[in-house]
Structure 1
Amino acid sequence: QHTLDWCRAIKKIEFVSPPPYGVGTQRRAVLGPGYVTLDEDFFDWTEDPANGHYRNGFRVLRANVPGIRRFGEATEILPADVGCRLRWTFALELPTSSRVVTAFSGPASSTVYKTIEADTLKHFANLEPAK
């Protein structure tokens, strides 16, 4: 239930499906000061702890902001020579209306993504190695 608690741009993420989590799991994300709400559905949930490989992907089913045609994320954690490698991919489809595109690709949106990136790097850099 505490996914991405380290990200200042994310106010709250709550799984609305009961555990165990996997493909078909749904959750709700509240962004910023609480103005944006996204209902998400996981289409990929792969856990292979023996090989240190984890992957999940979700799509947004509903958003309370107009103009988002589609949005999704994919996260993958892979073993590396030292520690692990995190791949985090965002996909966003917007209508061709220049006003909507500017709102999502302009300085405010860029700041949100940069804040999430900076907060994530800081969080993982400060983790203690597993013993």
Structure 2
Amino acid sequence: MARRLRPVGLDFAEEAPVRLVFTAGTAAPPQDVYRALAQEVEDWPRWFGAVTLARPAHGGAGREIRLRGGVRFQETVMTADPEQRYAYRVDETNAPGVRALLEEWRLVPDGTGTRVRWTFAADGPAPFRLALRAARPGLGQAFRTAVRTLDRRLTAGGGSGR
């Protein structure tokens, strides 16, 4: 059953009780990485292994996401700064325990490529926070694998891989 989460602002990325921050590099330029994140939402399952469905909602102001294992998210895009930052808040989910969740992707030019920083900011009761911290290695591995896969798609096809 889907539950409404507490709405949070962009500052939650810095103030959340649990903040998991991961970084990875790509050879692709920021504009290509940004386009894959923010504009080609339906392609996420092709490069982020945990995602089984991704589609824009509310005219691009939101997203519907489904993950392996049946977790579903209804999200609101909080910011979409071309080539720099993409962030979204989860408004509804069927995931147990979570009270608030925001994800932020920051893109920093790095030579001819991009340094990607993903912040997973969340709140929930103590058992949820403990479980999320314990899941840090797995989330980090999923992120790094996703960025490597995305980079291969972007650099091999001269863009989105389409």
Fold similarity call, TM over 0.5: yes
Task: Decide which of 28, 52, 65 is 2:64's aligned counterpart.
Answer: 28
Aligned residues between the structures? 117
The SS at the match of 2:125 is coil
Aligned partner letter, 2:42: H
Aligned partner letter, 1:15: P
Assess if the C-alpha contact under 8 Å between 2:65 and 2:72 holds in 1.
yes
Q: Percent identity?
A: 21
2:52 counterpart of 1:16: no
Q: Tell me, which stretches of 5 or more residues in structure 1 are unaligned?
A: 48-52
Assess if the C-alpha contact under 8 Å between 2:123 and 2:129 holds in 1.
no
2:37 counterpart of 1:2: no
Q: Tell me, which stretches of 5 or more residues in structure 2 are unaligned?
A: 1-40
Structure with the greater alpha carbon radius of gyration: 1
CA RMSD of aligned residues (A): 2.4
Name the residue aligned to 1:119.
146
The superposition leaves residues 23-69 of structure 1 with CA deviations (integer Å, 9 ceiling, x where unpaired) of xx111110114x1001111111112xxxxx33111111111122101
Higher relative CO (Cα under 8 Å, sequence separation at least 6) belongs to 2
* Greater helix fraction, Structure 1 or Structure 2: 2
The SS at the match of 2:74 is strand
1:38-53 equivalences in 2 (<5 Å): 38-47=73-82, 53=83
In the superposition, the TM-score normalised over structure 1's length comes to 0.73
